[in-house]
Amino acid sequence: MIQYMPQGRNASEIAADVEAALRDGRLAPGVALPPVRGLAAELGLSPVTVAAAYRELREKGIARGNGRAGTHITARPPIGPRLPLTVPAGVRNLLSGSPDPALLPELPAVTPPPRAYGDPPVIARLGELAAERFRADGIDPRHLAVVSGALDGVERVLQAWLRPGDRVAVEDPGYPPVLDLLGALGLSAVPMGLDEFGVRPDALATALARGCQAALFTPRAQAPTGAAWDAARAAELAGVLATRPGTAVIEDDHAGQVSGSAGHSLAGSVERWATVRSVSKSLGLDLRLAVLAGDAATVARVEGRQAVGPGWVSGLLQQTVAELWASPAVGQLLERAASAYRQRRRALLDALSGHGVPATGRSGMAVWVPVADEPAVTGALLDRGWAVAPGERFRIASGPGIRIGTGSLSGDEATQLAADLAVSLTRRARRTD
């Protein structure tokens, strides 16, 4: 294979050529770019020009510097969205852990008061309602920010404290966009193993011993396993973090009150922390809003960076969420939703257990099933009319599995799916004997 050689007459053109090569497949993630002096000689340019191009690529999150090892394309360069898995016509789509549209509230028509430059970024009513919710779970709400969804909040906290090259402890298996985000920021992901109660304390201790400056957790509705903390696990994790003061702790509580599990948090037990609560799973995917609580320094840094970017999250979105949170009818709907998601998840777990198939899913809208051969099992289920997600996208070093979305799964479907999965696993086992 011929090594890709960037082209261009100046720094901007070289950087643009590298980005184009990634888009059309001539250059792969993780590949080393030519040495600065070598490329400069090849193009007849100054090494300063090539160095400027590489710096532009690093600033965009497309490349990272590795000292004497040179400059490499990041593992997941941000040049486009992760391609979705396709589902053939007539196949039941259980790829995602999305909410059931029938359990989402109707959005109210709101007219927020006109905003003026210099107004507080968090509207008062939303701030008051968010503070009540945080306080109910023992989370200090004195410092709040509003961000554009859970992942936006995670990114802003990471950028507040970390720099390219730093290490972040992450759940394994975990949420694929988080891994994409870390790659785009030039951060290194260090995996932490899980059980049904979330990150294991020994796995956190091992990750911190490897020099992680931050740790990212999902306290409940963990993607893809459905793991959820209890009070004992939260206390154990806090004890481990106490041995590493200064570690930034980020909690992505994306499902919140519809997760089917009580809220537990490490807030207050560490110096640097942020808890991000999105409303997408509970109120609607188009409501790209999350409320972030944290220590004073973290929230100040998040708001400071936000101020020189988008400025604030739309007052229209904030007012909409406030109206929904304040509505008793919506509160009752969310209670019904949490109960329905719990029943649907439980129905599949019970049906799988009846066939001797181990699976996990203490909370959320999905179930994780360990399997030996992801392609074989997903292919066999597809032949039987079920589209489920292979675990490869979620994993770093953990074992293989499949993720099954249960948000809209009926009881009859759970029974049939469990039977089909059991047959698929049995046939796979026979072929390997």
- Backbone φ and ψ of 405, nearest 5°: -70, 130
Q: What is the pLDDT of residues 352-364, one digit of tens each?
A: 999 999 999 999 9
Nearest to 360 by CA among 410, 402, 409, 421: 402
CATH match of 92-99+330-432 with 3.90.1150.10 = yes
- Rounded to the nearest 10 degrees, how much is the dihedral formed by the CA atoms of 263, 361, 107, 317? 60
- Model pLDDT for residues 330-382, shown as the tens digit of each residue: 999 999 999 999 999 999 999 999 999 999 999 999 999 999 999 999 999 99
Q: Looking at the chain, how many residues does it have?
A: 433
Cα dist from 169 to 64, 158, 242, whole Å: 19, 12, 15
Q: What is the arithmetic mean of pLDDT over 149-161?
A: 96
Its pTM stands at 0.84
Compute the average pLDDT of residues 124-150: 97
- Annotate 195-207 with b (16+ C-beta within 10 A) or e (fewer): ebbbbbbebbbbb
CATH of segment(s) 11-73: 1.10.10.10
Query: Is the predicted pLDDT of residue 1 greater than 50, yes or no?
Result: no
Geometric angle at alpha carbon 304, from 185 and 311, rounded to 5°: 95
CATH number of 111-326: 3.40.640.10
Give the start-to-end residue ranges of the domains of the chain. Answer: 11-73, 92-99+330-432, 111-326
d(CA 153, CA 286): 16
**pLDDT band at residue 186 using 50, 70 and 90 as cut-offs:** confident
Cα separation, 210 vs 204, whole angstroms: 10
> Can you give the pLDDT at residue 393?
85
What interhelical angle do 47-59 and 11-23 show, nearest 10?
50
Contact 210, 86 (CB under 8 A): no
Residues 120-138, mean pLDDT to the nearest whole number: 96
